[in-house]
Amino acid sequence: MRLVSTLLLLLAFSTLHAEENATSASEAMRAGNYAIAYCIWQPEAEAGDANAQYNIGWLYHNGYGLTVDDRQAEHWWQQASEQGHLEARFALATLYSLGGRGVSKDIDKAIPLYVDTLSTGDEEARLILHNLLMANNKTSRLLATHLQREDWAQLGTIRDVKASRANIRSQATLESSVIDVLDQGASLLEVASQGKWVQIIVLQTGRGGWIYAPLLAPTSP
């Protein structure tokens, strides 16, 4: 019984110590004392603390008290991300989407990381993915392969084709070229409207275009 009590006391002390360290490091950051923040976070990051790993990554990424080194930022954000740290996952996704010092741009790596953060309702992640889809290019096709229906629902309104066949056109006119033909039941993401036309992205392929609104089933309540 005495051993259990001792362990509980040690656990409580360890938790309190970690909270005090986190507060001290944050205060040091706000005051511009980056070296102090680094000295507090570094051993905790090495010990596996995800928040410390995330913060060390930012120190390297921004060059706060250190030489800018995105390879080190990538390393620490990967460590934190593997522990489920969503902010680190988003930071890592942004690093891959833009590239950095010592880290090549790699949208293939960025996309699944962005999709993971989408489940949290993060508005910035939603906007980034929405813009990637609107590009209507190879990247939007790749992104479509990573999205589940519940992910699409966070990006806009899902509509289904009710007609037996529906043409997808390049512009919101009957005179514009047909770029795809969909069968009844195909699911689309509605992103904009213009009169009786709806701008859409096809869930199955990520391809965008315009469709005549009467060809679609009413929006579900």
Query: Quick one: pLDDT at residue 202?
Result: 95
User: Which segments in the chain show pLDDT lower than 70?
Assistant: 1-22, 29, 220-221
Q: Which domains does the chain have, with CATH numbers?
A: 2-105 (1.25.40.10), 133-215 (2.30.30.40)
Q: Are 39 and 21 in contact (CB under 8 A)?
A: no
Which helix or strand (DSSP H or E) is residue 128 part of?
helix 123-134
113 burial level (CB within 10 Å; 0-12, 13-18, 19+): buried
Residue 7: Cβ within 10 Å count: 10
pLDDT digits (tens, 9 = 90+) for 123-147: 888 899 999 898 888 989 999 999 9
State the sign of the Cα–Cα–Cα–Cα dihedral 120, 126, 128, 133: positive
Pairwise CA distance, residues 60 & 68, whole Å: 5
154: CB partners within 8 A, 6+ apart: 118, 121, 126
Question: What is the per-residue pLDDT for 28?
Answer: 72
Distance CA 55, CA 41 (A): 7
Query: Residue 221's pLDDT is what?
Result: 52
